[in-house]
Amino acid sequence: MDFIINATLKAVKHLYNTDIAAGEVNLQETRKEFEGQVTIVTFPFTKFSKKSPEQTGNEIGTLLQKELKEVTGFNVIKGFLNISLADNYWKSRLYNEILPDGFAVFKPNGKKVMVEYSSPNTNKPLHLGHVRNNLLGFSVAEILAAAGYEVVKTNLVNDRGIHICKSMLAWQKFGNGETPESSGLKGDHLVGKYYVIFDKEYKKQIEDLKADGQTEDDAKKNAPLIKEAQEMLQKWEAGDLEVMSLWEKMNSWVYAGFAETYKRLGVSFDKFYYESNTYLLGKDIIEEGLAKGVFYRKDDNSVWIDLTSEGLDEKLVLRSDGTSVYMTQDMGTAQLKHNDFHIDKSIYVVGNEQDYHFKVLFTILKKLGKDGADGLFHLSYGMVDLPSGKMKSREGTVVDADDLMDEMELTAKEQTEAMGKVEGFSEDEKLHLYHTIGMGALKYFLLKVDPKKRLLFDPNESVDFQGHTGPFIQYTHARIRSVLSRAGVAGISKAHDYAALAAEERDLIVSLTQFPEIIQLAAEGYSPAVVANYIYELAKIYNKFYHEKSILQAEDEAAKQFRLLLSEASGKVINKAMGLLGIEVPERM
């Protein structure tokens, strides 16, 4: 649409002898109720045209129509100049831009970006909150790659710490040697079971101590179980062989379980970092910061940074005993990532409960003048809440990721069978279809909302398969593929002789041309929701077209060929756009 902007600049110069920047031309899609496809908002021009918005619009419109062969007409309503573009213009965009292979493919921009996501604890299985994180991270990585970035997907696994010792200790005390093999439980679920058992036993002990007259706080500190867990952590840090081997054994169970869940979710990583390797990092940065005067040391030997001038607090960056805190290791890990990959941008997909932490972390790294500090971004997403409130692993009030996927696939199966749509499918094809549809519904449900917003999930209300949903879009794709396969591979040729465009056809082309901008917009905003909402609009427009216009029984051969091409283009864009969300589209459903 640059040619319209440029012509508008010229028109403004010619008519009103005023130079304006391209950004001052407010171009938007014309609303459905008006004639035309693009609209220029002319209110701002009245400042220098010294004329009414209507008159200004008419003058510019007249000139544009005279100068541009693509402009076939215009109308003015208040400060809105609605422009109609020639059918040939839209057809040529379909033929020359959308249908060729390079459509919506961005050239590499030479920048490298890291997306860290998932980053689970190894003491319990993944739940719905993790699912949102994983889908977001994976999709954002796909979108950035589509926008021309080189992308490195990383997973920083929190594999050490007191919470893991809790699971280990409970297993040691109450597990009787239970293994995934002996119990048939998935490894991460088995370990999570003992995390819950620990909490239950711990609470019992607290109650007992309180009955003996201790305060709640004292009881929490003095309960034998928590003391044992802390001892275990110390042994771990000291490299105690027995503890290490238990730790390795239980972690390996968890990793096997996670691998299964990741595979089913369709997410993947290029690089894993483990906190057991990174938790000691960052101490050299402390020295560096002290030397630069960014940090200061208190009398008790602890190291701090004063961020009160930035509206933040004083923050501890190293304990008085010289050990690392969360902030210390995150500084170190940021450095490590940069050394390993020389990245231009680094995205952290982490929930918004850690907004403050990342604000502080990024401020510190900037103050230290670290390379890449300007490219840090916290993709802060809202928590997933249940009607009953927040999910809590310890209390078992979570929607488990594996259970949820089971349910989605089951629902997909029931719906599909009820509609009798699996004739001629093999058993494998059926299973694959149920997976595709079930996951499509779940992924779309989670990705269509703005990442920043918190999400309410009611386990009692099943995820929809109709309307603004993944299956709706998948269905649209299946319809398209069905028509194309009926037409036959050799059935499509270019139909330059197809004359006038129907409104439904033009709307579809207009929507298709927007895809590259959508990728750009989604990449800039790190928002899969932008893509999700776009595909929905596109699918709706296609369905309308499909309903109004006969394709295989078109009025003549030219119309048929043209509509087949339009369908092919729509199918491709839907497929690619859904791919950016990590959602598969079926050939039949």
Partner RNA sequence: GGUCCCAUAGCUCAGCUGGAUAGAGCAACAGAUUUCUAAUCUGUAGGUCAUAGGUUCGAAUCCUAUUGGGAUCACCA
**By CB under 7 A, what part of segment 301-330 binds RNA?**
302, 311, 313, 316, 319-321, 324-326
Structure tokens at 409: 């696939």
CB of 91 to RNA, least distance (A): 20
Binding RNA by CB under 7 A: which of 465, 498, 515, 562?
465
Residue 116's SS3 state is strand
User: Quick one: which of 454, 411, 402 has its CA closest to 265?
Assistant: 402
Binding RNA by CB under 7 A: which of 172, 230, 482, 575?
482
The answer to whether 452 contacts RNA (rule: CB under 7 A) is yes
Binding RNA by CB under 7 A: which of 34, 204, 272, 340?
34
Residue 533's SS3 state is helix
CB of 116 to RNA, least distance (A): 14
Tell me how far apart the alpha carbons of residues 187 and 195 are, in angstroms, rounded to a whole number.
Answer: 13
The answer to whether 513 contacts RNA (rule: CB under 7 A) is no
Burial zone of 242 (CB within 10 Å; 0-12 exposed, 13-18 middle, 19+ buried)? exposed
Using CB under 7 A as the binding rule, the residues of this chain from 91 to 110 that contact RNA are none
Using CB under 7 A as the binding rule, the residues of this chain from 344 to 373 that contact RNA are 352-357
Where are the alpha helices (H) located in 448-527, listed in sequence order?
470-487, 503-513, 515-525
Binding RNA by CB under 7 A: which of 50, 66, 298, 392?
298
Concatenating the DSSP letter of every residue in 141-207 gives HHHHHHTT-EEEEEEEEB--SHHHHHHHHHHHHH-TT--HHHH---HHHHHHHHHHHHHHHHHHHHH
- Between 156 and 246, name the residue whose CB sits nearer to RNA: 156
Residue 235's SS3 state is helix
Of 63-71, 259-267, 409-417, 572-580, which part binds RNA (CB under 7 A)?
409-417
H-helix or E-strand spanning residue 23: none
Of 101-109, 196-204, 362-370, 532-540, which part binds RNA (CB under 7 A)?
532-540
The answer to whether 550 contacts RNA (rule: CB under 7 A) is yes
CB of 36 to RNA, least distance (A): 7
The answer to whether 3 contacts RNA (rule: CB under 7 A) is no
The answer to whether 272 contacts RNA (rule: CB under 7 A) is no
The answer to whether 449 contacts RNA (rule: CB under 7 A) is yes
Tell me how far apart the alpha carbons of residues 447 and 265 are, in angstroms, rounded to a whole number.
Answer: 13
The answer to whether 162 contacts RNA (rule: CB under 7 A) is yes
First to last CA, the chain: 37
* Cβ atoms of residues 127 and 261 within 8 Å: no
The answer to whether 217 contacts RNA (rule: CB under 7 A) is no
Length of the chain: 589
The answer to whether 52 contacts RNA (rule: CB under 7 A) is no
Using CB under 7 A as the binding rule, the residues of this chain from 100 to 159 that contact RNA are 158
The answer to whether 416 contacts RNA (rule: CB under 7 A) is yes
The answer to whether 575 contacts RNA (rule: CB under 7 A) is no
CB of 235 to RNA, least distance (A): 16
Of 23-31, 134-142, 169-177, 505-513, which part binds RNA (CB under 7 A)?
23-31
User: Quick one: which of 189, 360, 163 has its CA closest to 260?
Assistant: 189
**333-342 CB burial, b ≥16 within 10 A, e <16:** bbbbbbeebe
Binding RNA by CB under 7 A: which of 207, 552, 556, 557?
552
Quick one: angle between helices 128-146 and 241-265, nearest 10?
60
Binding RNA by CB under 7 A: which of 58, 86, 111, 161?
161
Of 282-290, 337-345, 444-452, 489-497, which part binds RNA (CB under 7 A)?
444-452
